[in-house]
C-alpha cells in the first residue's frame, strides 16, 4: 500500500496565501487534485487569495476522521497547535 496514493485515504490540509498571508484549512480525498483546484481559482473560498502554498497536511483513514481534524484545526486550540507546529515556517513569513 502506498499511503500517498491510497484511494481510501483522506487528508486534512492547510494552505498559506502568499497574497494575504493567511491560512485556509480543508479536507479532501485527493490532495493533489484539490490543491490544483485551489491554485487554479476553482474554489470560491480561496479564489481571491492566490497564489497558495501547501504548508501542512495529515492523512486520515476515513472521511469522518479528516473532517473532525479539519474542525479541530479551525478551532482556537487547533490554531494554537498549528502556530506551534509550524513555528519555523511562520517565523520566516513574518
**Cβ(11)–Cβ(66) under 8 Å?**
yes
What pLDDT, in 10s, does the model give residues 68-89?
999 999 999 999 999 999 999 8
What pLDDT, in 10s, does the model give residues 12-71?
999 999 999 999 999 999 999 999 999 999 999 999 999 999 999 999 999 999 999 999
2 pLDDT higher than 70:
no
Residue at 86 is within a domain? yes
Q: How far apart are the C-alpha atoms of 36 and 50, rounded to whole Å? A: 11
Q: Number of folded domains in the chain?
A: 1
Residue at 64 is within a domain? yes
The residue to which cell 496565501 is assigned: 17
Instruction: Please state the pTM of the whole predicted model.
Output: 0.90
Residue at 31 is within a domain? yes
Q: What's the confidence (pLDDT) of residue 59?
A: 97
Residue 69 sits in which domain range?
A: 10-93
Residues in the chain: 94
Q: How far apart are the C-alpha atoms of 28 and 46, rounded to whole Å? A: 15
6 pLDDT higher than 90:
no
Q: Where residue 40 sits, what CATH number does that domain have?
A: 3.40.1440
Question: How far out from the chain centre does Cα 36 lie?
Answer: 12
Amino acid at each position: 500500500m502506498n499511503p500517498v496514493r491510497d484511494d481510501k485515504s483522506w487528508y486534512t490540509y492547510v494552505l498559506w496565501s502568499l497574497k494575504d498571508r493567511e491560512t485556509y484549512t480543508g479536507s479532501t480525498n485527493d490532495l493533489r487534485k484539490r490543491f490544483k483546484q485551489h491554485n487554479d481559482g476553482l474554489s470560491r473560498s480561496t479564489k481571491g487569495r492566490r497564489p497558495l502554498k501547501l504548508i501542512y497536511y495529515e492523512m486520515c483513514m476515513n472521511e469522518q476522521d479528516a473532517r473532525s481534524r479539519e474542525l479541530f484545526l479551525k478551532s482556537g486550540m487547533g490554531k494554537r497547535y498549528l502556530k506551534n507546529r509550524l513555528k519555523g515556517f511562520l517565523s520566516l513569513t513574518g
